[in-house]
Amino acid sequence: MTSIQLKLITANNPGCLEKILSTSRGGGFEVSNFIAEFKPERDHYEVKLRVQGEKSQDKLIMQLLKEEDVRSLVPCRR
C-alpha cells in the first residue's frame, strides 16, 4: 500500500476543503490525516494531507492539480 503526504495551498472558497477530500477519496485513496489551517493575512488555507492506497500517486496529484482552488501542491518526504 502506498502512503503519500502532500502540502497544498488552497483558495478560501466555499467547499474547497471538501473538494480536496472528495477528490482524494474518489481517486481510490483513504485519507489518514488531514490538517487545514486558515491564514487570514493571505486569505488561503495551508493543508497537510496524508493518504494511503493502491493506485498511482501521480494520478491523485494530477487530479488535485485540476481543482481550480488548488494554488500549489508539493509532495513531501516522510
- Residue-range definition of the domain harbouring residue 45: 2-76
For residues 43 and 47, what is the distance between their CA atoms, to the nearest angstrom? 13
How many separate domains does the chain show?
1
For residues 43 and 58, what is the distance between their CA atoms, to the nearest angstrom? 28
In order, the DSSP letters of 60-75 are: HHHHHHHSTTEEEEEE
The torsion region of residue 74 among left (phi > 0), alpha (psi -120 to 50) and beta comes to: beta
pLDDT at 55: 86
CATH number for 18: 3.30.70.260
Average the pLDDT over 50-76 and give the result: 93
pLDDT exceeds 90 at position 26: no
pLDDT at 68: 95
Q: Which residue has the cell 489518514?
A: 32
